[in-house]
Amino acid sequence: MPAPLTEERNRLDRAALLDAAERLFYERGVQAVGMDEVRAVSALPLKRIYRFFPGKEDLVVAVLRRRDQRWRESLAAFVELVPDPRERVLAVFDWLADWFAEPGFRGCAWINAHGELGSSSEAVLAEVRSHKRAFREQLAEWVGATGAPVAEQVFLLVEGAIVTAGISGDPEPARHARAAAAALLGMP
Amino acid sequence: MPAPLTEERNRLDRAALLDAAERLFYERGVQAVGMDEVRAVSALPLKRIYRFFPGKEDLVVAVLRRRDQRWRESLAAFVELVPDPRERVLAVFDWLADWFAEPGFRGCAWINAHGELGSSSEAVLAEVRSHKRAFREQLAEWVGATGAPVAEQVFLLVEGAIVTAGISGDPEPARHARAAAAALLGMP
DNA sequence: ACGCGTTGAGAACGTGCGTTCTCCAATGAT
DNA sequence: ATCATTGGAGAACGCACGTTCTCAACGCGT
């Protein structure tokens, strides 16, 4: 019964591949990273990489999709510890502040991918829009629970904060966006 | 005295080159456009292009710099027609709404360039930061004139609206951001 | 122990990039 | 008219990419 062993190894290697690709793509951009570098960092034969994903575009999409899961789950796990609806919305910005302060933070992976590939890869564009839609709905539920009809506005603050922190390299936008969200929620 | 004629032709050709490059880079991304395509669209010999700009990176920076001038001047000309300070700030979002609705709108050229080249080109990164700083200061003056200390928050709303409109292809974020700005300015 | 199908490691391939070089026509001074 | 110099048009170069191919080593059923 080597079959289960093979499957287990597949799972691990696939994860290692996505780890390597995600790190490289996020740090340096998709087009600036060659498949050979992905191979070197993942320590997987090129042949096996192309068995997992038939082309680079598929790898990019898979990276974004897995990151979407992790990113939104991590955010949800953090903010849902906060019981009060309005404080819960503000906790989103506390989570952002922690994220912005992480070493190697370089803005939103989906926005970056959109700028780089949004016009040339239909699949990447769809994945970016899917992530943004999912996050927007997630956020809209939390904001909706406060009773204030400002979900879209809070979403724009989050997006602005991520982009600005990514470009400036400064986590400060999280605090300003938090203050703005508090005002919109009627918390003086 | 062919010198003045030559200079005039240089000015025109340089403008045609920047026009071609700006259109191509914005529509399809910088890395997706080859210098040969810039040559074809600008109808200039490659040799002359490389006389104007020693490398593609210099061309990219020049495109961003000229666009920054045009973009901020156009915005200022629009909003400074409005005398009332608070209405003037809201006019920024009306200008954004018009921009978002233009055919071929594909988000913020500087944010896109940052996602694509921010980690590999120091010169592009500096140009992007310079544009964002200049715009932020411009906006801070207009917001400052209202007396409300919310310049940074309004800036984040603008950035969020641009990014979101660029990804979704929908100009609606301008209206939501406008409503949020009005609330922050204390306009019920 | 022994074939035999599968895998790993990396060379090879075709393509397209940014950049430079070649060559010839046009121009302007003598 | 001639000749030196410039500038245009595009071929050529070197390189790096995504992808595919080669071939030796290995594992497993018999």
Write the CA distances from A80 to A142, A182, B119, integer angstroms: 9, 18, 34
Average pLDDT over residues B69-95: 98
pLDDT tier at B11, thresholds 50, 70, 90: confident
Residues of B with Cβ-Cβ distance to A161 under 8 angstroms: 156, 160
∠ CA A114-A120-A126 to the nearest 5 degrees?
A: 55
* pLDDT for the residue A7: 73
Which residues of B spanning 8-47 put their CB closer than 7 angstroms to strand C?
31, 33-37, 46-47
- Residue A155 token pair: 């979403």
Distance from CA of A107 to the nearest CA of B (A): 8
B60-184 maps to CATH 3.40.50.10540: no
* pLDDT for the residue A5: 59
What are the residue ranges spanned by the domains of chain B?
1-52, 60-184
Which residues of A spanning 97-126 put their CB closer than 7 angstroms to strand D?
none
Is the pLDDT confidence value at B66 over 90?
A: yes
* Residue A137 to residue A139: CA distance in whole angstroms: 5
Average pLDDT over residues B117-125: 95
Q: What are phi and psi of A149, to 5 degrees?
A: -85, 60
- Position A67, amino acid: R
B117 touches strand C (CB under 7 A): no
* pLDDT for the residue B105: 97
* pLDDT for the residue A3: 44
B56 touches strand C (CB under 7 A): yes
- Choose which CATH entry (2.60.40, 1.10.1060, 1.20.1260, 1.10.10) describes domain B1-52: 1.10.10
The distance from CA B28 to its chain's CA centroid, rounded to whole angstroms, is 16
* pLDDT for the residue B120: 93
Which residues of A spanning 14-33 put their CB closer than 7 angstroms to strand D?
31, 33
Q: What fold, for A56-184?
A: Tetracycline Repressor; domain 2 (1.10.357)
Other C-beta atoms lying within 10 Å of the C-beta of residue A165 = 25
Are the beta carbons of A177 and B156 separated by less than 8 Å? Answer: yes
Nucleotides of chain D touched by protein CB (<7 A): 7-11, 16-22, 27-29
* pLDDT for the residue A1: 35
Long-range CB contacts (< 8 A, 24+ apart) of A162-165? Answer: A162/A96, A162/A100, A162/A107, A162/A108, A162/A111, A163/A107, A163/A108, A163/A111, A163/B111, A163/B159, A163/B160, A163/B163, A164/B132, A164/B155, A164/B156, A164/B159, A165/A96, A165/A100, A165/A105, A165/A107
Are the beta carbons of B29 and A129 separated by less than 8 Å? Answer: no
∠ CA B41-B43-B49 to the nearest 5 degrees?
A: 95
∠ CA A24-A30-A31 to the nearest 5 degrees?
A: 125
Residue B75 CB burial class (10 angstroms; 0-12, 13-18, ≥19): buried
* pLDDT for the residue A187: 87
B45 touches strand D (CB under 7 A): yes
Residues of A with Cβ-Cβ distance to B29 under 8 angstroms: 115-120
Are the beta carbons of A176 and B153 separated by less than 8 Å? Answer: yes
Q: Max CA-CA distance within chain B?
A: 65
pLDDT tier at B2, thresholds 50, 70, 90: very low
| Closest residue to A119, CB basis, from B29, B164, B184 | B29
pLDDT digits (tens, 9 = 90+) for A127-146: 999 999 999 999 999 999 99
Residues of chain A with pLDDT under 70: 1-5
What share of chain B has pLDDT > 90, as a percent? 92
Length of chain B: 188
* pLDDT for the residue A44: 93
